């Protein structure tokens, strides 16, 4: 499956099949997440096991597909997942554990191509829903998941993996939003009209008609440069999310605030009952 992306050429998205590709995927994962040589990471053998037993292990390659069906070019994106089952409802779905895009290919459509390639693989197994988690303070990821793919963030999980001891967020708690993506039909982002009268501060909620708005930083890397401030901001965002999600609100959108908002450099979630 070939998907267009801005830049020197298209990307080809397909399942990874060979041990060398699995090792390249692990190398890419380590590089994107800033892991040291001693930090744990996904195993090539695990990827082979998932690939052979109903999981998704796919890559995005720079360049178009050859007639033989193989791809040329470097591996620039990687995603993997497995079959999951909701312990409360018994619903079976595909859980996407991780998706990464090479630094110099980010913002060029590779992430979208990768998720749609994973979608095709999952639909081929007969499943029609996918879930994954992401860091709620990263506005770019939130916008992509909610406003581009049309997924819905239905669950907030505090400190899912414990305090991070590796990678780019060492010493930070690992709060996560868990999204659900309906794979049947075209993307269905929530309808969002107009500009809010007031943009909430970080970790603040304000009403917007029947919806709630919840503020977060626009660019997390700026906040993360001060670890103590980052921990405080994460705590305020957690305190805002937990009660509204428990009350049945779902995060349906995340947009960058226009200049002049209460908190410079802000973005805001839109939460809706349902």
Q: Where in the chain is the domain with CATH 3.40.630.30?
A: 1-127
CA 166 from centre of chain: 19
**What tens digit of pLDDT does each residue of 247-273 get?**
999 999 999 986 544 445 899 999 999
Cα 44 from Cα 212, distance rounded (Å): 43
> What confidence tier does 185 reach under pLDDT thresholds 50, 70, 90?
confident
Per-residue pLDDT at 3 exceeds 80: no
Per-residue pLDDT at 75 exceeds 50: yes
Tokens of 22: 């699995």
CB of 61 closer than 8 Å to CB of 74: yes
What's the angle, vertex CA 260, arms to CA 255 and CA 261, rounded to 5?
50
Average pLDDT of the chain is 89
Topology of domain 1-127, per CATH? Answer: Aminopeptidase (3.40.630)
pLDDT of residue 9: 54
CB of 81 closer than 8 Å to CB of 27: no
Cα 123 from Cα 228, distance rounded (Å): 43
Q: Flag the least confident range among 32-41, 76-85, 92-101.
A: 32-41
Cα 109 from Cα 160, distance rounded (Å): 29
> What confidence tier does 68 reach under pLDDT thresholds 50, 70, 90?
very low
Give all strands of the β-sheet with 129-134 in edge-to-edge order. 2-3, 11-15, 56-62, 75-85, 92-101, 129-134, 176-182, 152-157, 249-256, 266-273, 211-217, 205-208
Whose tokens are 């349906």? That residue is: 252
Q: What three-state secondary structure class fits 167?
A: helix
Question: 261 or 34, which is more confident?
Answer: 34
Q: How many CB atoms lie within 10 A of CB 92?
A: 13
Cα 85 from Cα 194, distance rounded (Å): 38
Question: 2 or 210, which is more confident?
Answer: 210
pLDDT of residue 104: 93
> What confidence tier does 177 reach under pLDDT thresholds 50, 70, 90?
very high
Concatenating the DSSP letter of every residue in 181-234 gives EE-SSS--PPP--S--SSPPPBT-EEEETTEEEEEEES-HHHHHTSHHHHHHHH
User: Which residues have CB under 8 Å from 264's CB, separation 6+?
Assistant: none
CB of 206 closer than 8 Å to CB of 212: yes
Question: At 263, phi and psi to the nearest 5?
Answer: -120, 105
Mean pLDDT of 85-92: 96
């Amino acid at each position: 499956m070939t998907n267009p992306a801005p830049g020197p050429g298209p990307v080809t998205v397909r399942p990874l099949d060979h041990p060398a590709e699995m090792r390249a995927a692990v190398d890419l994962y380590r590089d994107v997440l800033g892991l040291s040589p001693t930090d744990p990471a996904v195993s090539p053998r695990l990827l082979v096991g998932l690939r052979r037993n109903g999981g998704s292990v796919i890559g995005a390659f720079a360049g178009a597909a050859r007639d033989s069906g193989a791809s040329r070019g470097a591996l620039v994106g990687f995603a993997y997942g497995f079959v999951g089952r909701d312990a409360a409802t018994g619903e079976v779905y595909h859980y996407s554990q991780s998706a990464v895009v090479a630094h110099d290919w980010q913002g060029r459509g590779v992430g979208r191509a990768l998720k749609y390639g994973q979608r095709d693989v999952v639909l081929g197994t007969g499943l029609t829903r996918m879930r994954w988690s992401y860091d709620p303070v990263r506005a770019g990821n939130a916008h992509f998941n909610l406003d581009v793919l049309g997924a819905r963030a239905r669950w907030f999980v505090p400190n899912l993996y414990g305090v991070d001891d590796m990678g780019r967020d060492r010493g930070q708690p690992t709060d996560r939003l868990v999204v659900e993506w309906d794979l049947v039909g075209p993307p269905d982002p929530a309808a969002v009209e107009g500009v809010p009268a007031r943009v909430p501060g970080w970790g603040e909620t304000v009403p917007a008609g029947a919806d709630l708005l919840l503020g977060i930083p626009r660019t997390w890397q700026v906040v993360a440069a001060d670890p103590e401030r980052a921990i405080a901001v994460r705590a305020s965002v957690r305190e805002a999310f937990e009660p509204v999600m428990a009350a049945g609100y779902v995060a349906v959108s995340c947009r960058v605030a226009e200049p002049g908002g209460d908190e410079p450099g802000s973005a805001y979630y839109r939460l809706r009952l349902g």
